[in-house]
Amino acid sequence: MSSTTHRLHLLLCATVLGLLLTGCGGGDGDSDGPTATPSPRPSASATPTTSPPPSPPSSPGTAFPTPADGTDLKACADGRCEVEVRSGDRITFTGDRVRLDSFTVVRIADNVLTYKAAGPGTSFDGRITVPGTLVVNDLEVEVVAVDGDRAVIRLS
């Protein structure tokens, strides 16, 4: 009788294990079970959705914003503004608030703003990807949106 009980126990364990493996398999080869079935559907429908945003260079789902200070780069002299910039634009700072002399937009392309900044005794360059922020010498430069060869930046 003890060998019969042992065999029943093994049969029961094998049945439970088989049910667990069958339930987790979902029949589609995934090991994530039923949650794996809906996953391919959203990614399949997300593929066409992600294709259009790279075509328009501005941020996905938003129109290119109208900056508060338009294209008036002189509005940024105190380090507080929101302006539209293009390659070659140079913002010159005055006063003691900003410890930089200038911020120059070198290039805007592929949702990236490349810049060069200069201050007393220093010069450096870099890239900011939209949406992105650079903080240097207490000046925050936020790239709000990029559209082709133009960008809206916010200085604070």
Confidence of residue 122 (pLDDT cuts 50, 70, 90): confident
Across the chain, what does the average pLDDT equal? 73
Q: Is residue 134 part of a domain?
A: yes
25: containing domain: 2-50
Question: Is 55 a member of any domain?
Answer: no
Distance CA 85, CA 65 (A): 12
Q: Is residue 84 located within the same domain as residue 144?
A: yes
Flag the least confident range among 42-51, 65-74, 87-96: 42-51
Tell me what pLDDT residue 2 has: 53
Q: Are residues 77 and 151 in the same domain?
A: yes
pLDDT greater than 80 at residue 24 = no
Q: So what's the pLDDT on residue 17?
A: 37
Give the rounded percent of residues in the chain with a pLDDT score beyond 70. 60
User: Do residues 132 and 85 both lie within one domain?
Assistant: yes
153 C-beta neighbours (distance < 10 Å), count: 27
Based on the domain organization, do 41 and 89 belong to the same domain?
Answer: no
The CA–CA distances, whole Å, from 98 to 77, 120, 123, 140 equal 9, 11, 15, 10
Number of domains in the chain: 2
